[in-house]
Amino acid sequence: MKKAIRTIAILAMIPVLTLCAEDGEKEKEQQVLQALQETADYVADVLINEKGFSRCDYNIPEGKWYDYEPPWHTGQAIYALLEANRITGSKKYLDKAIEAGNWWLTLEIKDHPKLKGMVRSAHGDYAGQTIVFATMSDGSAGLYKLFDVTGDKRYGDVTTAAGDWMLRNMCLLDEGVCYDNVDPETGEVMTENSPFWPDKENQILWDVARPNNEGSLFKDMYEYTGNEEYKAAFITLCNSLVDKQGPEGLWMHFMPNDLESGSVHPRFNLWYAESLIDGYELTGDRRYLDAATLTLEIYTTFQTGSGTIFYQNFVDGSRDRSSICGSAVAFSGILWLRLQEHGVPGFEENIELSLDWILKNRYASDHPDPNLAGAVINTRLRHKKGKLWITQRDVGSTFGVRFLSAYYDYNYGEKSKK
């Protein structure tokens, strides 16, 4: 009799527990949506300046902004704003993305005999005004997405023309690499010396060229034009990434990784993994998905129990804890979600860690410094020009918006209904 009573009591509790779980999930959904809107507001209201490009790096002690690869930082801001617009429907984000896209169009080079059709993708930091392949390709995806949303072919035309110039002048597809840099004055591709290795006298091919598949530029060009040559170039670089990937899942022979010290850049390998997932979705070649999975597996070891990923990690498992990389937390989360969508198990805990970290590690919307209010924490501690630079970087917020959008979509949006 007592057992029957206990059973009835437990059964009676089930609806209550279900309601509690539903209430908890609803509360979580609202937290994600609120964080998405607050961070997207920061991107729209603070990061995009009056000229239409991202302010990039905020020096906290000085209270000043410094340019750092504006083409790719602005392109990612456009990407983030379009994702926020897709989830929330807010026209504000679309309008700001268009404003930033129109600035991006002004980068087109029209009057240089060798560079006509290319864009002024200047690095702006270590490499000065040097035109950098990845500075363009890391931002180009945002322009193609802006075309998808608006139908304005200017955004696809300018990026495709630049990508075609890069394919003709910078790529050694037989080697599976593309040169990194172009002299902005002469228009000459820098094939022997890279400004990123100022103290290295004897530079080899892999010092001046990489499998520059970041941003999946040639894939986007193919989908925009239907030109099979661009598809072939993208697949060639995907194959190169598979061939040149180390057993740990990284590309340690290429900067900004450092093979000698074992130092791993927080986003560089994720860019390559993202392009490989794109390659898998385009071709169905399982090698690409497996290679991307290997990369994302080592990133689970970079993530701490609190969800943090630091700017500098080492292949031996050690970390430099001086800089916190919110963009790597978010970017990893985006790719863990994409792998999960393709049926790759094992990343559920890390996705939730990334979400919890992004929700907790944002400057308050009423922070007294308006340059920080609402931003996802993404710090970089450096010694530069004889002083200590403590920088808050814009990419924590732009990748943060992308991750929150992807998480919301997967768990509460259209993808959750499939």
Q: What is the pLDDT of residue 386?
A: 84
Residue percentage of the chain with pLDDT more than 70: 94
Residue range 331-357, pLDDT digits in tens: 999 999 999 999 999 999 999 999 999
DSSP string, 72-106: HHHHHHHHHHHHHHHHH--HHHHHHHHHHHHHHHT
CB half-sphere exposure, 230, CA atoms < 13 A: 21
Tally of CB atoms within 10 A around 88:
16
Q: What is the pLDDT of residue 233?
A: 98
Q: What is the pLDDT of residue 125?
A: 72
pTM, whole model, 2 decimals? 0.93
pLDDT class of 19 with cuts at 50, 70, 90: low
State phi, psi for 58 to the nearest 5 degrees: -105, 115
Cβ proximity of 408 and 84 under 8 Å: no
Instruction: Give the mean pLDDT of 22-49.
Output: 95
**Mean pLDDT estimate for the chain:** 93
Q: Sort strands 387-393 and 379-384 into parallel, antiparallel or unpaired.
A: antiparallel
* Residue predicted with more confidence, 4 or 369: 369
Residue range 37-65, pLDDT digits in tens: 999 999 999 999 999 999 999 999 999 99
Tokens 């993305």 appear where? Answer: 97
pLDDT class of 13 with cuts at 50, 70, 90: low
Residue percentage of the chain with pLDDT more than 90: 86
